[in-house]
Structure 1
Amino acid sequence: MSDCTVDYLSPEIMDRMKWISTLSITRGDISKIYLKPDLLTLTAQESKTVEIVIDYGTNNNSLTELEIVSNYLNALPANINQLKSLSLLNLKNNAIQYVNFSDFNGMDNLTEINLSSNKLYAVACDRKIILDKLETLDLSGNFLIELDFNNWQFSALRTLSVESNNLKFIMNFDETSFPMLKAFQYSDNAWDCRWRNAFEPTMEIIDTNIRSQYDEYYGNSQTFKCAKYTQLSASRYRQLNLTTIDDAQFKFDNPEELEEQLRTIVEDSTNHAAEIGLLKETVTAQKNQLTNY
């Protein structure tokens, strides 16, 4: 289906597609799509879709691939864990803000989850989640500030991407967390320097293991840079067991870069002050004109 416009691809409409097992939708305007139980794959791209309807308790064991890409989803589809046979979940480039990984419990056939380029500000997992077949997890290009790997059991995970977020630290992650890891992409974040210094030995072990075991997959090594402007609260440092590390132990990657950042901050502050001064003068002049009237 291409360039189709309908408010709801309803059960009644889907019932007329009895012999269709693979449905691909591109462009158009279909805000709501009903997932008929006997579909094998569903792809919707740039179709202005905001909701996928999955019946609770209905036998949806047929679907193996669900790709809703470049659309307007703001949450995971309700009842998504009814899709017991699903292997590929691609929700790239939507508007999803929050995900609880516990919602994936029971989806034992998942091999790939792509949540990149959404608006994720938080990822939670309130109970243990076991996805023994999951090989690829992509959380890149979001707004995550912190990430806790507690309760995650992904023994087959090979590719993990958290790059291009606002991550300041991660918790409960070590070299034994993901024994099959081949690629860990973590660049372009706002890592806290104090946390980075404490975590760096673990990261070096992880990088070394990845390069030595899976060199053909790893590619170029990454630089684990921290952001000098990032500062966590005292309680968070205590939670991360970093109370023994003081400011004197910070190691700056590039003193010239730090100096340039400080100079830019000063220049920006000066420019903003000048703009505020001009704005005050304009407002005062307008008030005087009104008073004269």
Structure 2
Amino acid sequence: MFFLINTDNSTDISHIQCICLKDVDKTSYLVHCPFETEITFLNQVLNEINDINHTVSSIVVTNLKKSNDTNVTFWEAITTAATEELEELTIRHCSEDIRLAILNDTPVHSLKSVLQLKIENCRLGRIPSLFLQGLSGLSYLSLKDNNIEKLLKDDFKGLDKLTTLDISENIINNVKDNSLSTLPQLETLYVGNHNNITESFKHEISRLPSLKQISLAKADEVYNLDDFKFSEGSKLERADLSGCGLTELKKDDLKHLESLEYLDLSVNLIEKIDSNSFSPTKNLQYLSLAGNFLNETNLNTDSWTGLDSLINLDLGYNEFTGFENSFKHLGNLKTLNLRSNSRLFRLESNAFDGLKSLEDLNLTACSIKHIDDKAFDGMENIKTLDLSFNKLYQLETPFKVIGSGLNNLNLSSNRLTFINASTFSDLHNLTILDISQNPFVCNYKVLELQKWINEEYIRATKDSRPFYLAKPEQVACEEPAHLKGRELMEITIDMINNVPETTFTPPSTTESDELTTMGFDLSKWSAHIGEGNDTLFKEESDADKPTYDINSIKYGQRQTKTQTQTTWVTISSVAFLVLVTIIGVIYVVRRKKTNLVSEHSISQGISSSL
């Protein structure tokens, strides 16, 4: 149940400032003001809720501003009888006067019931420590995107129950001792997005006694991990360092992080991983190294030592050209993502040696042209294999070594012109097959693939398992021309055989070796309704002109078979043009000669006068 509180009685929802939604317990309301709202109106909403003997558990206000016609302060507006049990307060995009009130006004009374506070996009410039002093029960605090530059010693004083702090998207570059490390219950910290993680900042982070999750995504000045120096017994379980400037992973970078379960190192500049770098992370289950500069030459058999619990590994957007001995010590890995390794052209034999538990392999958008028949050897548990958007032009039998466990096979958007039905003959539990967006040549061989697909539908029904061909409308013929665009599953032998005759046949040679142009019978195409076309389209001025017979022209000659006066007219015209040209040349020569004589006479006259 919800109702709208409007500034007037009109039904135009563009005037709505606040929406009130009754909470599940039926005694309190959630107040959401998504548009520009004055504090006097917010105060009015809260008072009206109080008048009906209800309370407010949550307030979300966007573009809050002070009223010009009242002296009601910010604190007076939000601290009414209805907010005595307020649990959540969110303020976004506040005006300048509200910003100053948050920073400088002394709270009317403490909102001890507030558990979650978000003040975002308000350009505060510093931590509103005065505001926070009355919120001793706070467990979640977000001050992101506020142009905060410093963290001072007493900024978070009294927030002993705080478990989550978000100060990301600021410009913090100065962190004092004991500004963060005095938060005894802090478990989750967001400090990424362009904060400058100085040495003192790293020191404060590593001293947080209860820290379990940290996000440093897109933070500045994060070039190595050994500066964090987490103490022995660290409780850190999740770490996001994506989009930083890490260049390598050294042996002791993850020291004392035995509890770590999730590590995101994507979109960095990592080129090297030292042996035994992951040895301390016995419980790591998810690791992303996507978007770096890794290849098989800067990994060795000990690079993954210690990752006995790893389930999901993302190595997409790197520079691998092969995987020889690249996956040792990953026997429990279930998901491997290798998408967009654009230098990967071949999958050699035993490319994935050691991945006996792998279930999901993503090789989409690489540059794979060839797959060895034993490339997937040893992968008996594979269920999903994605080879889409590669450059495969033929397949032999690379799936025979996989066994019958494969459920989902994606070969779409390659360069396959033909797929032998025997390629899939050992995949007895296939449920999804995607071979769309390939340039199939629809000849007799394609009927074998069509037959296998139809029979697989029957087998799946008998086995009580699902099976379908993905995007069948895009499994289409590219050649021959008369079948281009037709769905492969609709092709019949008659359609292949019935090649339409061309409209024009090549010219034939007669016994006398005289080539003539073949005639074209317009009567088969013209519509004879009323008068004939020869009458309808014949103008009066053409009435006496002879009919032009295209067959009167000899093939390869310019003349007709019967000599006419046209030849003599042409010769006369050419002779006339030659005569005119000769006369013109003589005239130009004589003119130039006369000019030269005149110039010589003038020169002699000038010399005589001098």
- Normalised by the size of structure 2, how large is the TM-score? 0.35
Q: Tell me the distance in 1 between the aligned counterparts of 2:376 and 2:294.
A: 31
Counterpart in 1 of 2:315?
68
Question: Could you tell me which residue of structure 1 aligns to residue 121 of structure 2?
Answer: none
List per-residue Cα deviations over 1:149-176 (Å, max 9, x = no partner).
2542332111000010001233473664
- Are the structure 2 counterparts of residues 77 and 42 from structure 1 closer, same or farther at C-alpha, using a change threshold of 3 Å? farther
Aligned residue for 2:314, secondary structure, equals strand
Amino acid at match of 2:326: N
User: CA shift at 1:22, angstroms?
Assistant: 2.6
With over 3 angstroms needed to count, the CA separation of the structure-2 counterparts of 1:130 and 1:27, relative to structure 1, is: closer
Q: SS at 2:350's partner residue?
A: helix
1:225 maps to 2:438: no
Q: How far apart, in 1, do the equivalents of 2:264 and 2:397 lie? A: 35
1:6 aligns with 2:246: yes
Tell me what 2:449 maps to. 199
What is residue 288 of structure 1 aligned with on the other side? Answer: none
With over 3 angstroms needed to count, the CA separation of the structure-2 counterparts of 1:127 and 1:138, relative to structure 1, is closer
Q: Structure 1 stretch 149-158 or stretch 105-114: which is displaced more?
A: 149-158
Is the alpha carbon distance of 1:229 and 1:46 closer, same or farther for their aligned partners in structure 2, counting shifts above 3 Å? farther
Query: Who is 1:187 aligned against?
Result: 436
Please give the alpha-carbon distance, in whole angstroms, between the structure 1 residues aligned to 2:346 and 2:437: 21
Out of 263, 275, 278, which is 1:23 matched to?
A: 263
User: Is the 8 Å Cα contact of residues 142 and 165 (structure 1) preserved in structure 2?
Assistant: yes
The structural deviation recorded for 1:192 is: 3.1
1:1-56 Cα deviation digits (max 9, x unpaired): 12222332232434475553431123232233456243432112334544562425
Partner of 2:327: 80
Tell me whether 1:97 sits opposite 2:345 in the alignment.
yes
Alignment partners' CA distance in 2, 1:48 and 1:173: 38
Cα distance in structure 2, aligned partners of 1:127 and 1:121: 13
2:291 to 31, 35, 46: 46
What's the counterpart of residue 36 of structure 1?
278
2:570 aligned residue:
none
Structure ranking higher on relative contact order (CA contacts 8 Å, 6+ apart): 1
2:412 and 2:434 in contact (8 A); partners too: yes
Are 2:373 and 1:125 aligned? yes
Aligned twin of 2:496: 251
> 1:81-130: CA deviations, max 9, x gaps?
44211111111122222112523244221111110111111111348824
C-alpha contact 1:175 1:205 (8 A) present in aligned 2: no
Structure in which a larger fraction of residues adopt strand: 1
| Distance (whole Å) between structure 2 residues aligned to residue 216 and residue 198 of structure 1 | 18
Partner of 1:55: 301
* Paired residues for 1:117-156 under 5 Å: 117-126=365-374, 129-150=377-398, 151-156=400-405
Change (3 A) 1:132 1:254: farther
Q: Which amino acid aligns with 1:67?
A: D
Matched pairs, number: 241
Runs of 4+, deviation exceeding 6 Å = 216-219, 252-255
Gapped regions of structure 1 (runs ≥ 5) = 231-247, 260-293
Unaligned runs of 5+ in 2: 1-240, 482-492, 504-610
Deviates more, 1:83-92 or 1:67-76: 67-76
Identity of matched residues, %: 21
Secondary structure in 2 matching 1:29 = coil
Cα distance in 1 for residues equivalent to 2:405 and 2:365: 24
Conservation of the 8 A alpha-carbon contact between 1:211 and 1:218: no
Q: Retained in 2: the 8 A contact 1:87–1:109?
A: yes
Contact 1:131–1:155, Cα closer than 8 Å, also in 2: no
Partner Cα distance (2:375, 2:315) in 1: 26
Query: C-alpha separation between the residues in 1 aligned to 2:351 and 2:264?
Result: 25
Q: Tell me if 1:110 matches 2:358.
A: yes
Task: Report the residue type matching 1:193 in the other structure.
Answer: C
The 1:15–1:173 alpha-carbon spacing in structure 2 relative to 1, beyond 3 Å, is farther
Query: Which has the higher Rg, Structure 1 or Structure 2?
Result: 2
Q: Which residue of 1 aligns with 2:426?
A: 177
The 1:75/1:176 distance shift into structure 2, 3 A limit, reads closer
Q: Report the Cα distance in structure 1 between the residues aligned to 2:251 and 2:497, rounded to whole angstroms.
A: 59
Change (3 A) 1:99 1:174: closer
